[in-house]
Structure 1
Amino acid sequence: MKRQLLKLIHNAICMAILISFVGCNSSENLYKAPKVSAFRGGKLPPPPGMVYVPSGTILFKGSLDSGNVGKNISLSAFFIDETEVTNKQYRAFVNWVADSVAITDFLNDDQFFLDVASEDGEGRRINWKKVKKISPIWQSKDPAIVEKLGPMITTRGSRRALNPEVVKYRFSYLKTKGNLKQEYVTDTVPVMPTEDIWSKDFPNAQLTSLDANYFTHESFDHYPVVGVTWRQARGYADWRGKEMMANLMKNSYLSGYQLTFSLPTEAQWQYAAEGKLDPRDTIAGSKLTIDAEEGKQKLAVNYKQGEGTYSRDGATFTVPVKSYTPNAFGIYNMAGNVAEWTLDAYSPSAVAFVNDLNPVLLYDADERDADALKRKVIRGGSWSGNGEQLNSETRGYAVDYEPHSYVGFRCVMSAFELPTAQSKTRKY
């Protein structure tokens, strides 16, 4: 009897301890991890204008003529713009910066601010809901506003335009010089693209009509923006990331996450482009053509197919960003139309020393550095390039302060790994 009583007391104490422990953690289900199952559909819903690229592995090579056999690299999942950044999208960035400069540096009107308590103006936030009702402010016809914005405005031909020396974007980033030095810095970049870049790139051609209309006229809204330097493209990516996280993620599954937004690394770019064409037509040195020939696939890509043959693909210059057929990931014009800036510094031997997981070669050159240190990788070929440049492995470069009429860009945002069939919990 005594033994049974002791046993009952012992069991009661154990149960009390167990109930107490479970009760403290029941809200979190601390020890009830669910079984892993593959995500239906295999991809996350992308933010507007982007597509989801799942994690994967590719063969990453150096220059095609270097004899480098390359190495296998793996990439985490990411989102990438389904199209090149358009004139309309980039104009939204320019107008946002111009509105910011107009309000803070020239108008200084309390009606455009949310906080007006600070005497020195520090810490005041712009009331963007009110600003957007009259944006872009620099195009206002109000004589009082026009007079105050004088230094912001210049003339180009017969029209008003923004002064590129005044309209600048300020942002902070981690400045990296290889493995030597890393520090957070604040940079200021002018945001206006070089509108007469067409005549500058082709000085003996009659392209003044494109100079005057390509960036500003609504008929070119959905064409890829050009005349943008690598530093300007990086500024746009920073702004777009902040805008997206502030305006689009509040009620989405991405809410609460810290996600990076940037130009694509060249490895990300290559991986995203891998499905663009039949692999048999992307071997280095193969002839790419839009003509139907025996044994050749008929391709639809905007590029120069021979000396003086710009128009055989249906356009002499750029085409709207959703022209032709998207690749296997749903991405448009990863080959041709405009070549694209990537995040990486250019080195012919980069593949030899970058990591085999999410590789990137970062080097933010100082202004006094030689141009060789300012070279950034461009990928994809363009409307003015030949067929060999369309290969997804072909690497080119331009210095970070030089714009071109044949170079544009697109953006990427980090994403998450999804459980796949390989990791799904199985019954044994």
Structure 2
Amino acid sequence: MKKIICYFFAGCILLSLSACFTAEGELRGRTTTRLDFNIADPYGMVELPGGSFTMGANDQDVPYANRTDMKTITISPFWIDQTEITNAEYRQFTHWVRDSIIRKWLMVNTERGYEKWGWTNDPDPSWNQEFLAEDEQQDRRNEENTYINWYKNLNFQKREVTEAMVRSLILPEDEQMWLEADGDQNWGDAASTTLRPHFQSKLIDRRKLIYDYTWFDANLAASRVNTYDTESGVYYEVINRNQAFIIKERVPVYPDTLTWVRDFTYNFNEPMFDNYFWHPAYNDYPVVGVSWKQAKAFCHWRTEWKLYHLPEERRVFETPYRLPTEAEWEWAARGGRELAMFPWGGPYSRNYKGCFMANFKPLRGNYWADGYIYTAPADAYGPNDYYLFNMAGNVAEWTESAFNPMADIFASDLNPEYTYNAQSADHPHFKKKVIKGGSWKDIGAFLQIGARDYEYQDSSRCYIGFRCVKSNPFEADKQQYEERFKGVKKNMKKNKKNGTRGRE
């Protein structure tokens, strides 16, 4: 028995040695990491499979409706938000910007501010924490290595923090607007001295709520004139490699609430202007008054916020949040139904009970017939077959795509996209961006999946919102992905049966 065991181990050793010798000098490949590279499903998002579909209008053209011709295309898998971004979610972004400004002021203007409110050696320099402008950094110790310490609690009950907010964000006294009547004859001085919650007073200067960030322009870097000539050892054009493809953006982030008044004439919408963004009753309603640039800034912040809360070794596998391309938006809106006219699949705007299927202008002069006058909650009405809410109606949605009536002709049939990074000095024609889905103030024709419209990238409207997408790097073969997606659809049906909707 002992001999048998010895022979067995000897054979194993010889076999392993022979394997080592046979691999010597052979191409075996190398892996970059042994970590699990799969990305967990982002909260509030639905994973969509890749596939092929016919993009474009599925009905007769409405005159001047900016329709696209029908074209068969292929889309890679991605994640997309179940609902439009809500007021509460966007408010998290504006509050972060507010807090960052207060923290910067505390670092600069308080005793031992660098030690109390900053890192001298930031553990995550990739996080968007640009500390000070160059003119503010002179004569500051360790200014190049100092970053905001986000682990330090910001207590607004403390005088130090309150003073920082007053000095860095509050409007000058001559510009402040209070809701109380100052010295009203019926109420005496009580009206002017009554303290009210901060959200009921127009005190914060929204012009100071600015988000600074940078992004890499891959299209510009891929241009032939910017590539490196390996034979001559120089670039085709003389460029500054440190700044040529890094685009700096400086975006005011607070929504333009005055759009409720500006977008309509001879119309009383002041209650919506007064309440829509801040009032808790509208927390779960889609955010509006946000420009294309602001939506892009939100996507960048959301990416960095996600990375900041991940272990360092997991960050490299994450893909950024972004706006959907027009093709991705259509693929998501169809819910897997080929040639569907509306996201719910049918050619009519009512169901079999005669109820309207979305929030739009269903009848002449009657906005109330569908259940809502203005916007509806982000998870109102039934979802499509991908369990996405309000892909038609409620608010129109920004896409990444630039508007060009001929884009469907020259764009690729594989993940088609047409973009143009318009600068402020460019002609307004180049600032047009595609919006999809129709809104609460549009007639039914604009709710069709193939319908398209445009708005200028620096404009905001009370009927335009957005939702985010996130590329899925997992490219399985078709059979594997269909098996994988069965579980996703099973969960969708289970949630639908149980009445679970939206982000619950």
TM-score computed with the length of structure 2 as normaliser:
0.69
| Alpha-carbon distance between aligned partners in 1 of 2:24 and 2:141, rounded to the nearest angstrom | 50
Relative to 1, partners in 2 of residues 1:212 and 1:157: Cα closer, same or farther, differing over 3 Å?
farther
Q: Secondary structure at the match of 1:264?
A: coil
1:312 lines up with 2:369 in the alignment: yes
Map residues 383-422 of structure 1 onto 2, 5 A cutoff.
Answer: 383-415=440-472, 416-421=474-479
Q: Indicate yes or no: 2:86 matched with 1:86.
A: yes
Give 1:61's aligned residue. 56
Q: What is the rounded CA distance, in whole Å, between the counterparts of 2:151 and 2:375 in structure 1?
A: 35
Whole-angstrom distance in 2 between the partners of 1:337 and 1:107 = 43
> By how many angstroms is 1:346 displaced?
0.3
Q: Cα offset for 1:351? A: 0.5
Letter in 2 for 1:339: A
C-alpha distance after superposition, 1:341-382 (max 9, x if no partner): 000110011111111111111101111111110000000000
Matches within 5 A, 1:1-20: 18-20=18-20
1:244 aligns with 2:260: no
Task: Give the corresponding residue for 1:146.
Answer: 162
- 1:248-267 to 2 correspondences below 5 Å: 249-250=310-311, 256-267=316-327
CA deviation after TM superposition for structure 1 residue 67, in Å? 8.0
Residue identity matched to 1:227: G
Of 423, 435, 455, which residue of structure 2 is paired with 1:366? Answer: 423
Query: 8 Å contact 1:106–1:148 — kept in the other structure?
Result: yes
CA apart distance, 1:183? 2.6
**Residue 210 of structure 1: how far off its partner (Å):** 1.1
One-letter identity of the residue aligned with 1:189: V
Q: Is the 8 A contact 2:263 2:462 kept in 1?
A: yes
Which of 293, 296, 302 is residue 231 of structure 1 equivalent to?
293
Q: Could you say if the C-alpha distance between residues 16 and 212 of structure 1 is closer, same or farther in structure 2, counting changes exceeding 3 Å?
A: closer
Of structures 1 and 2, the one scoring higher in RCO (CA 8 A, sep 6+) is 1
AA in 2 matched with 1:121:
E
Equivalent in 192, 195, 199 of residue 254 of structure 2: 192
Give me the whole-angstrom Cα distance separating, in 2, the residues matched to 1:15 and 1:357: 48
Which runs of 5 or more residues in structure 1 are unaligned?
Answer: 1-10, 32-42, 135-139
Counterpart residue number, 2:215: 173
Please tell me the residue identity of whatever aligns with 1:124.
T
Q: What secondary structure, in the 3-state scheme, does the structure 1 residue paired with 2:119 have?
A: coil
Q: For residues 61 and 360 of structure 1, what CA distance do their matches in structure 2 show?
A: 14
Mean CA deviation greater in 383-392 or 111-120:
111-120
State how far apart, in whole Å, the 2-side matches of 1:49 and 1:214 are: 22
Residue 265 of structure 1, CA deviation: 0.6
* Partners of 1:245 and 1:318 in 2: CA distance: 32
8 Å Cα contact 1:168-1:191 kept in structure 2? yes
Q: Distance in 2 between matches of 1:385 and 1:146?
A: 44
Could you tell me how far apart the structure 2 residues matched to 1:97 and 1:234 are? 15
CA contact (8 A) 1:45 1:52 kept: no
Change (3 A) 1:366 1:212: same
Distance 2:308 2:292 in 1: 24
**1:185 to 1:423, Cα distance in 2 relative to 1, 3 A:** closer
Instruction: Report the secondary structure of 1:122's partner residue.
Output: helix
Check 1:338–1:418 CA distance in 2 against 1; reply closer, same or farther (3 A cut).
same
Q: How do residues 279-358 of structure 1 correspond to structure 2 at under 5 angstroms?
A: 282=342, 288-290=348-350, 298-358=355-415
- For 1:351 and 1:278, how far apart are their aligned partners in 2? 18
CA change 1:422–1:162 in 2 (3 A) is same
Contact residue 48 and residue 78 of structure 2 kept, 8 A: yes
Please state whether the residue corresponding to 1:413 is helix, strand or coil.
strand
1:272 counterpart residue number = 332
Cα offsets for 1:117-172 (capped at 9, x unmatched): 981422323222323x53xxxxx354443333334123454304432221111111
Distance 1:361 1:67, change over 3 A: closer
Counterpart in the other structure of 1:52: 47
CA distance in 1, matches of 2:466, 2:203: 24
Q: Distance in 1 between matches of 2:476 and 2:82?
A: 20
**Pair 1:128-2:144 in alignment:** no
Aligned residue among 191, 206, 209 for 1:164: 206
Q: Which residue of 2 aligns with 1:203?
A: 265
1:115 matched to 2:175: no
Taking the aligned partners of 2:318 and 2:117, their CA distance within structure 1 comes to 29
Offset at 1:403? 0.3
Q: In 2 relative to 1, CA 275–256 (structure 1 residues): closer, same or farther, beyond 3 Å?
A: same
Aligned residue number for residue 36 of structure 1: none
Cα 1:188–1:352, aligned 2, differ >3 Å: closer, same or farther?
same
In structure 2, stretches of 5+ residues that fail to align are 1-10, 31-37, 123-139, 180-200, 227-243, 483-504
> SS of the residue aligned with 1:344?
strand
**Is the CA contact (8 Å cut-off) linking 2:56 and 2:70 kept in structure 1?**
yes
Shift of the 280–361 alpha-carbon distance from structure 1 to 2, 3 Å rule, reads closer
Cα 1:287–1:308 shift into 2, 3 Å: farther
Q: Which moved more, 1:82-91 or 1:65-74?
A: 65-74
CA distance in 2, matches of 1:419, 1:107: 52
Letter of the structure 2 residue corresponding to residue 221 of structure 1 = N
Q: Could you tell me which amino acid in structure 1 is paired with residue 387 of structure 2?
A: G
Are residues 298 and 212 of structure 1, via their aligned partners in 2, closer, same or farther at CA, if it must alter by over 3 Å? Answer: closer
**Which of 322-331 and 395-404 deviates more?**
322-331
- The answer as to whether partners of 2:359 and 2:370 remain within 8 angstroms in 1 is yes
Change (3 A) 1:22 1:125: farther
